[in-house]
Structure 1
Amino acid sequence: MLKGGSVLKLHTLHAQGKSIREIVRETGHARNTVRKYLRDGALPEPTPRSKRGSKLDPYKDLLRQWMQEEGLFNCEVMYRRLQELGYTGHVTVIKDFVRPFRPPQLPKAKVRYETKPGVQAQVDWGLCDYTDKYGQARKLAVFVMVLGYSRVMYVEFARRCDIHSFLRCFVHAIEFFGGIPNVALTDHMKTVVLGMNDDHTPQWHWLFEDFALAIGLTPKLCKVRRPQTKGKVERMVRYVKENFWPGRRFTDIADLNRQAVAWCQEVAQRIHGTTKQRPCDRLADEPLRPLPSPDQLEKFLRVERRVSADGYVSYDGVRYGVPWVYSRRVVNVRRVREKVEIWSEGVRIACHDASTCWGETVQLPGQYEGLASAGGYMRPRPMAYQIPMDTVEARPLDVYEALAEVATCLN
């Protein structure tokens, strides 16, 4: 009996117009054989072979019993057990047999953790991609805080994720909520955690530690490599990216943040999928602690910057001008709504409209006034004054004699 490949070759040669004589000469098969397969027009059916027995056959019922009664699916353990019973095959045979019976890998079941009213807020950063007005691909950081009980959330976009941006967004969040929760849960973000102490306690950033003490907040870290321990804010970051961000159009960050606050207020009016209640209604049940005075929060909204030699401070990616006499000094910068204020020793020395262009230089009107006459000196130089001869004081000669005697004694 010819195999399928040989039969297919016969039909191919015949389709090429070759005669049976030529096919016999080329293939070496008998004339009757060639005629038979060309006449039948079908491939031969292979004769089924009897299956060979497996060394595992006597033990298969025992393996099924172990899987059903003991939940045993570890093939290495099965292999060692069967060897003790006289099995001489390989472990791969056991693995091939067990594979169809093995249950699918499923995540472990979890108990949903619900916080009591006013107890916890969860905080996290995310990154969002956008195209700027010049067509360049860029990224924006997004700060998200959510109250664990009511699910009210606050969203704010920032150019960077440093500690100053974090504190500014945090202050705006608690002002949006109207109060302070007892605990703020974050991951091990470098903006708030510098490392771990020898006793495995967090080494908080000193600015964040001062901020927490000032407002009476207890910071807490989630478990390492366990982001699900702050799953509420993790889902909210994804919710922002999937629901607020797609197709969003904005002129600058200030415009974007106004849209974000309006969206947070809108979302708070919707029925939450888990609680089946509106977050704004549950917020009334959150016993948040009252906000501290504005003076207590103001110092955390200011950033120290050193003025450059040409009279500029860098803030949020923009250089803002100050009077040239403050060059090389350390000043405080803060953003108040759409204004950037610069203070020195309790005096506001400059106020600018917040720029929306990354890397822009904003000059202050009259910034270099008086610079040319002062020769660049920021403090009055020691000066002497020449006067006319008629204004020179006339002194008695004995005064000069006394001075001469003093000089002689000194020598």
Structure 2
Amino acid sequence: MRKIREVLRLHFDCGFKQREIARAVGTSPTTVGQYVRRMQRTGLSWPLPATLSDDELEARLFPPPPQVEGQRPEPDWPTVRRELARKGVTLDLLWNEYKAEHPDGYAYTWFCTRYSQWANSLPLTLRQTHAPGEKLFVDYSGDRIAIIDAATGEIREAELFVAVLGASNYTYAEATWTQQLPDWIGSHVRAFEFIGGCPEIVVPDNLKSGVHKPSFYDPLINRTYGAMAAHYSVTVLPARSGKPRDKAKVEQGVLLVQRWILARLRKQRFFSLAEANRAVAELLTGLNSKAFKKLPGSRRSAYDELDRPALRPLPALPFQYADWKVARVGIDYHVELIGHYYSVPHRFAREQVDVRYTTSTVEIFHRGKRIAAHVKSERRGAHTTLTEHMPANHQAVSGWDPQRLRNWAASIGPHTCAIVAHLLGGRQHPQQAYRTCLGVLRLAKDYGNERLEAACSRAIDLKAPSYRFIASTLKNGLDQQSSTVPVQADPPLTHVNVRGPNYYH
């Protein structure tokens, strides 16, 4: 469901082509076109109504499928390509000729799409021309920066992240400890702030932090990386595996950063990541201001003239990094995350959910809809439970504690208080006796405080301090009868078994 909404957003808001959208969301171009066509056939308009849920959208877009059509004749694509090389020949002309020969063949849109799929699989080399503000190429340098731990003297190597704008070659670089997802996302956020806007497309390598599953046709983007892209309204189009020409800009940028920055810093010693980044930033200013050899101006002037006016504005707040986890709700309507348990509405018990968590918050989603939000807790083995998530019978006993029950019992009488104290002390966990205590105390509502106190007194005398005995006593009126239990008198102080003080002389 998340893919359907993202496909529609990229199509209508951003105006991207089907293949670009397919690469960005991790699906096929055919599926992208199907989503758009199905929406148009349903009569829906973009933006979608705010009240339209994911389930309703799925039902509108996917009614019972029609009958599958038969196999259509495939055009001779090599011939189509050779004919396109002739002056004045277009795909529209070739499609009309194809339809004249095969009336049951592909429609024009499918004809063009199939040809594009075939043509893009050919090993061609194309000189890329980048529109202003269109693409930002990102990658890590293979070379690293050595940083010394001032306390231990240990040397640790930091990675170097590089980002290059396509039209102006305006370059950003920073050092991070790792290439892991938190550093990868953080570098993107700082790169967007550095260039002062959002490009249309981000082109990464197939780094595991960015691309969960590389594929020539259907790469699967990491979910958190995709969420960041949606926050900044950019599209992620990974370079093809083993195709460095797809990201030639950043390959050249990495080489330039290695020569202009790392080579100049090779003799300096750094004792913190922040210190290294200050040195990188200083040299980066010089790199972007350095005059081109064969073109007028510099990266900075080209950025001011080309990319900067074309970039879209940054969102009001920067993206906050979050991790995702797939979890299953327990029978106690809680989800486990890093040893702590968070509640969800009880109707979602046993359901599979998605958990999004940051350093301070935890959000739980079911089929794309948020069903719970909590402040993150570091207490392992503890529970965070909202009262409104509990079923009615659980809410009835929530908020009670032993002292509150004892105070209620004391207001009825000492024998009732003794019964409640006995019940609370007879369980390993006092919470296990809450319902029994409430059952005893609520008998006063039906029989009155005096009769309940008398029944509790009888239960103590007969050594039967249980809810069943007390309820039965009140039901049968035995509390109103005099107790037949003999009361044992205290033994006399002087009798034959008392030896007396003279015995010990």
**TM-score, with structure 1 as normaliser:** 0.50
| Structure number with larger C-alpha Rg | 1
